């Protein structure tokens, strides 16, 4: 999958901006993913060259961390907390309801490219479990019903935009 010239230029600019930082790898990967929503294959060789590493080493770093992804996610990535505090408040059920509502499993994206579903281990919202994260917004005390309402509000909002 090749990327647009504009994306390629952005990648080059990001690498140039960060490559002299000590331990530049994670800042570069974050900046690319923040900009493009994923880390395209094309970026790997460019990072490798800039940091004097092999492509395998860069790939190794990307694959180690749950946060980084190498394919384009849906418009909204929904992270559902799987950790113990949320389990104590019914997150096992919530996981099932979320999967059912979206019709996908973890690490998948809906056919219309709107939603991706990811597990997460703790959002630090443990006094108001169960928690989910969408973008930079964290929602607490989420049950199946509240999950549906949140998802429905996302789709209403985006329809208005288009």
Partner 1 sequence: MSPSQTTSSTNSSKHVQSQRVYVSLDTTARSKGSDSVADQVSRQLSQQPELAATLVRNGSRGMFWLEPLLEVETPQGRVAYGPVKPNDVSDILSAQAFDDVTDHPLCLGLTEQIPWLKEQQRLTFARVGVIDPIDVADYQANGGFVGLSNALNKTAQQIVDQVKESGLRGRGGAAFPTGIKWQTVLDEAPQQKYIVCNADEGDSGTFADRMLMEGDPLVLIEGMIIAGLAVGANQGYIYLRSEYPQAHKILNQAIANAQTAGFLGDNICGSDFTFNMEVRLGAGAYICGEETSLLESLEGKRGLVRAKPPLPAIEGLFGQPTIVNNVISLASVPFILSNGGEKYRDYGMGRSRGTLPIQLAGNVAQGGLIELAFGISLKDLIERYGKGTKTKRPMRSIQVGGPLGAYLPQHQWDTPLDYEAFSAMGAVLGHGGIVIFDDSVDMAAQARFAMEFCVAESCGKCTPCRIGSVRGVEVIDKLLDADDEQRPVHLELLNDLCDTMEFGSLCAMGGMTPFPVRSALKFFPSDFSLAKSVPAQSPTSSTGAQ
Residue in the block written with tokens 């607490």: 140
Q: Are 33 and 68 in contact (CB under 8 A)?
A: yes
- List the structure tokens of 90: 């019914």
In the region spanning residues 43 to 82, those forming contacts with partner 1, defined by CB under 8 A, are 51, 60-61, 64-68
94 binds partner 1, rule: CB under 8 A: no
Report the 10 Å Cβ neighbour count for 101: 17
26 binds partner 1, rule: CB under 8 A: yes
For the bound state, the minimum distance from the C-beta of residue 5 to partner 1, rounded and expressed in Å, comes to 28
Give how many residues touch partner 1 by CB under 8 A: 42
Which DSSP category does 81 fall into? E
Q: Measured from the CB atom, is 30 or 101 closer to partner 1?
A: 30
35-45 exposure pattern, b = at least 16 Cβ within 10 A, e = fewer: ebeebbeebbe
**Which pairs from 27-30 meet CB under 8 Å and 24+ separation?**
29/61, 29/62, 29/68
Position among 88, 93, 113, 158 found at the interface with partner 1 (CB under 8 A): 88
**How far apart are alpha carbons 144 and 100 in whole angstroms?**
10
126: left (phi over 0), alpha (psi -120 to 50) or beta: alpha
Position among 137, 160, 161, 162 found at the interface with partner 1 (CB under 8 A): 137
30 binds partner 1, rule: CB under 8 A: yes
For the bound state, the minimum distance from the C-beta of residue 32 to partner 1, rounded and expressed in Å, comes to 12
3 binds partner 1, rule: CB under 8 A: no
134 binds partner 1, rule: CB under 8 A: no
Position among 14, 50, 78, 86 found at the interface with partner 1 (CB under 8 A): 86
Binding site for partner 1 (CB under 8 A): 22-27, 29-30, 51, 60-61, 64-68, 83-89, 92, 120-129, 131, 133, 136-141
């Amino acid at each position: 999958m090749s990327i647009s010239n504009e994306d390629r230029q952005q990648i080059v600019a990001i690498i140039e901006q960060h490559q002299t930082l000590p331990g530049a790898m994670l800042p570069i990967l974050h900046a690319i993913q923040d900009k493009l929503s994923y880390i395209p294959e094309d970026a790997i060789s460019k990072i490798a060259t800039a940091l004097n590493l092999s492509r395998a080493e860069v790939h190794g770093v990307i694959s180690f961390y749950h946060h980084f992804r190498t394919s384009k996610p849906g418009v909204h990535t929904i992270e559902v907390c799987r950790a113990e505090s949320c389990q104590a408040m019914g997150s096992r059920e919530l996981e099932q309801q979320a999967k059912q509502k979206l019709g996908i499993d973890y690490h998948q994206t809906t056919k219309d490219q709107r939603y991706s579903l990811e597990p997460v281990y703790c959002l630090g919202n443990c006094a108001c479990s169960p928690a989910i994260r969408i973008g930079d917004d964290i929602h607490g005390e989420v049950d199946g019903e509240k999950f549906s309402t949140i998802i429905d509000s996302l789709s209403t909002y985006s329809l208005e935009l288009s």
